[in-house]
Amino acid sequence: MKVLLINGSPNEHGCTYTALSEIAHTLMKYEIDTEVLYLGKKPIAGCIACKKCKETGKCTINDKVNEVMADIDNIDAIIVGSPVYYAGAAGQLTSFLDRLFYSGGSRMAGKLGASVISCRRGGATAAFDQLNKYFAISSMPIVSSQYWNMVHGNTPDEVRKDQEGLQTMRTLGENMAWLLKCIEAGKKAGISLPTYEPKIHTNFIR
């Protein structure tokens, strides 16, 4: 089993990384493989609505989105971490996720998803809701914790003092490990993924 943790902060080892690391340590306790993907500081292009991915199965912009898609069938869960910018997720992260989930399509279904937010003071719940929508539209079960998945602090040292926030991260890791093991046991018992109807698209203006 493998969990991909996406660090959407421009600071590679900042507050978001500190939260993700707490989860990763919990998952590794259960011998679940983890990989932290740092998106970097360079701009990431947003979706240009060319729809080429529907023909080729990959994004026409060849960057880390396609690197993840090349390994997506080996990934069982995705955890997305972001700092709060104006009560929302980081811009380069949302550009990355727009293209990843649009080009990924049905290949995301059945994987577990969770989002993690780091903030100095406020805006965390709005950013949390924003990121969870990627999972909710993709038939991905969303993993919860004992509180909304957020840590508070302006530096990694301050985040480490947020004992409730760090415990929330560990509980998230425990819940994700448990669900991954349940899914694995179900597969061994012959329980397959749901069978979905062909998608229906209804436009509101005709």
Specify the amino acid at residue 179: L
- Quick one: pLDDT at residue 111? 98
Q: What is the pLDDT of residue 88?
A: 98
Matching residue, tokens 């947020």: 162
CA distance linking residue 175 with residue 136, whole number of Å = 18
Residue type (1 letter), 142: I
pTM score, whole prediction: 0.96
- What SS3 class is residue 145? coil
Predicted confidence at residue 105, as pLDDT, reads 82
**In angstroms, what is the C-alpha Rg of the chain?**
17
The closest alpha carbon to 118, from 3, 17, 13, belongs to 17
| Rounded average pLDDT per 10-residue block, the chain, 206 residues | 98 98 98 97 96 93 96 97 98 97 93 98 97 97 98 97 98 98 96 92 84
The structural domains of the chain, ordered by start, are: 2-188 (3.40.50.360)
